[in-house]
Amino acid sequence: MTISRRTGVRLSFLRQYRANVLVFLILLILVMIGAVISPVFLTWRNFNNLLLQAIALGFVSLGQTFVILTEGIDLSVGSAISLIMCLTTGMILGRESLVLPVLALVLMVALAIGFCNGFVHTRTKISPLIVTLGMMSLLKGCVLLYTTGPYGAIPSFFSYIAWGKIGPVPFPIFLLATGVVVGAVILKKTRFGRYVYATGGNEEIARLAGIKTNKVKIISYMISSFTAFLTGLFLSSRMGMGDPSIGDRYMLDSIIPVLIGGASLSGGKGGVLGTLLGVFILTILANLLNLLGVSGWWNWLVEGAIIIIAVSFYRKNEL
């Protein structure tokens, strides 16, 4: 009986976390391939570079996870990141006394973006794809009216966010780890997290059960814009200035790790652990192509193939 119960527990665990197990195995395979094809891959310098590249994508993908779990999507995060970067560095201009008030103001702007996305979607019932696409265009126009090229400056201490260390470990690693833990606790241990899954799983049933699904969606979009804010701060710290075009890549890149990690575009499935594994898979793929001297344009082909394969695979398992 004891052996039978243990076997049942193991099978239950594998069924519950099979997507994460599969993604973890893919990650291990990629690491082994990298170790074989390039002697540089397993060096501390390259490992450190991989982690730093994963920070920005990790933050914005965590927020995207919440939105996709509610059967939504946020295409405005890239433009929001660019706007946040340019506003932050452009208003601070290296002056230490303005850091806190500017960050408070930019945070309010970021949360307002998420609120508008969620409010318009829930009130008009327009597809979140259309709503956030419109917001993306609006924000892109705003940032280009503000500046058409790299602009602004940060005080020296602000660079600690991207380049600081706690012992031998880069400080942004602690930030991302904190974000992952907080995200996991919210989704798995809180009432709001259960509401997120319920809303994405079947919104009508969730509403009949007394869940305020509109409120859940609005908060999820605000979480997405908050992580875009964190991403913008990290990139500002890393680059030392704002860039009106740097956020463009995150519109698509923030969605791919969520899908790789087992989330469904129909909502209700996925989690931050799977998203984090997806972030590392995408980062390692880009790193391997770079080490092999392959043109960066191949990243587009790889990412497109990943989206099609991931969506098709998980969709097939849902049927």
Query: What's the pLDDT score for residue 6?
Result: 55
Q: How much is the CA Rg of the chain, to the nearest whole Å?
A: 20
Q: Is the dihedral of CA 72, 216, 206, 127 positive or negative?
A: negative
Residue 206, Cβ neighbours under 10 Å: how many?
22
Query: What's the pLDDT score for residue 229?
Result: 97
Which parts of the chain register pLDDT below 70?
1-19, 295-296, 310-319
Query: What's the pLDDT score for residue 162?
Result: 92
User: What are the boundaries of each domain within the chain?
Assistant: 58-318
Structure tokens at 142: 């705003």
Q: What is the pTM of this model?
A: 0.90
Instruction: State how beta strands 165-166 and 169-170 pair.
Output: antiparallel
Query: What's the pLDDT score for residue 221?
Result: 98
Query: What's the pLDDT score for residue 194?
Result: 96
Residues 6 or more apart whose CB falls under 8 angstroms from that of 225 comprise: 63, 74, 76, 77, 80, 110, 111, 113, 114, 115, 117
Question: Reduced to 3 DSSP states, what percent helix, strand and coil does the chain have, rounded to the nearest 5?
Answer: 80, 0, 20
Query: What's the pLDDT score for residue 13?
Result: 46
Query: What's the pLDDT score for residue 147?
Result: 93
Query: What's the pLDDT score for residue 9?
Result: 44
